[in-house]
Each structure stands twice: as structure tokens, then as C-alpha cells.
Amino acid sequence: MTHKTAILGWGSLLWEGGEEFDRWRGDWSYDGPRLPIEFSRISSSREGALTLVVDAKNGVLTTVAWCVSKRKEPADAVADLRCREGCGIRYIARLDGAAFEDAQGSGKVIAEWAKARDLDSVVWTALESNFETKAKESFSVDSAIRYLQALPRLGKARAAEYVGRAPEFVQTPLRAALENQPWFRA
């Protein structure tokens, strides 16, 4: 019996997975589970750009992408994703068999989706919003726009690049607001 592990994606994993990560996965499909997604994480590796994360408080339900790992063991798929993300193992969520409630509250939804597709396990990046901690105010469209406007030119450019390259299926209130901001598109 072949073990099938799905990898969920909604952000840069889809457009810049990296050669090593990409060789161990199949093609992306766009009928994954519906998860609350928002540009609410301040990235240290992207000059302060806001990146997409599962955000139970501020996210918009979005059908995310998924692919099947070519790895035989779920632990290897976890390691692939962890290496690609450059984060600690605690930031890679893994669901096997029975549902569980992860910190982001998406375990049950993912478990039901996986069962309907005869998947044995699912892995995804479980980085959380850090906006409130880093920006020192609650996340909202207005506070996010103020934060982005205050970034240096390179940070604004990286933010615009990330939002612009985010998959079309990711439609959030912040993205809609940013697409109407002349300073952001320039």
C-alpha cells in the first residue's frame, strides 16, 4: 500500500518552491481545503513584506492549493517543507489519520478534506500572524496599509512583488485594498 501525503500551499510555495522541494512533489491542484488566509505575517526574509498565513482571526476562507509528495514517509515530506520554509519543525503541521485541532483551528476541515481524497496524511506551513507583535497594533486593512506605507522603498517593492505574485485564488480584503493604492502599484 502506497502512503499518500498531501502538501498544502497558498503563498510563495507555489511560485518559488525551490529546486530541491519541487523535485519531491507532484503538480499543484487547486481544490484543496478552505482555510482562513490573510497577508498578516511580517516577513523577516522579505524586507518586512506581509506574507500569507492561516489566520483564524483575520483570514478569509480560501480554497488552497495542494500537491502529493513523492516521499514514501510523511516525516520526509515534513522535512522537505521545513527545509524549504527555513523554519523550525514546530511550524510545520502534520495530520495523520484522525482529525486534530491545531493551533490555527484547521485540523478538522483538513481531516475531512483529506479523507474524501483518500489521503493518508497532510502537511502544511503553520507559521502564524505576527502582525500585532511586530507592528504593535491589531491587524486590520487600515493598520496593514499604514504599516506597508512606512516600509523603506525595498520593503514596499518586496511587499508589492509578494502580493502581486500571490495566486489569483487568494482574494482578501487587504489585497483588494492594496490593488487600489497607486503608491503600492507604482
Specify the DSSP element, H or E, that contains 154.
helix 153-165
Which among 174, 175, 50, 64 is positioned nearest to 122, based on CA atoms?
64
List, in sequence order, every residue forming a beta bridge with 34; answer none if it has no partner. 63
Q: Which amino acid is at 151?
A: L
Q: Which amino acid is at 61?
A: L
Q: For residue range 65-90, what is the model confidence (pLDDT) as tens digits?
A: 999 999 999 999 999 999 999 999 99
- Which backbone phi and psi does 174 adopt, to 5 degrees? -65, -45
Grid coordinates given for 161? 512583488
Residues in Cβ contact with 83 at an 8 Å cutoff, skipping those fewer than 6 apart: 20, 21
Residues in Cβ contact with 133 at an 8 Å cutoff, skipping those fewer than 6 apart: none
- Looking only at the bridges linking them, the beta strands covering 121-125 and 5-9 are parallel
**pLDDT in single tens digits along all 186 residues of the chain:** 678 999 999 999 999 988 999 999 999 999 999 999 999 999 999 999 999 999 999 999 999 999 999 999 999 999 999 999 999 999 999 998 644 545 457 888 999 999 999 999 999 999 999 999 999 999 999 999 999 999 999 999 999 999 999 999 999 999 999 999 888 875
Could you state, in order of their start, the residue ranges of all structural domains in the chain?
5-185
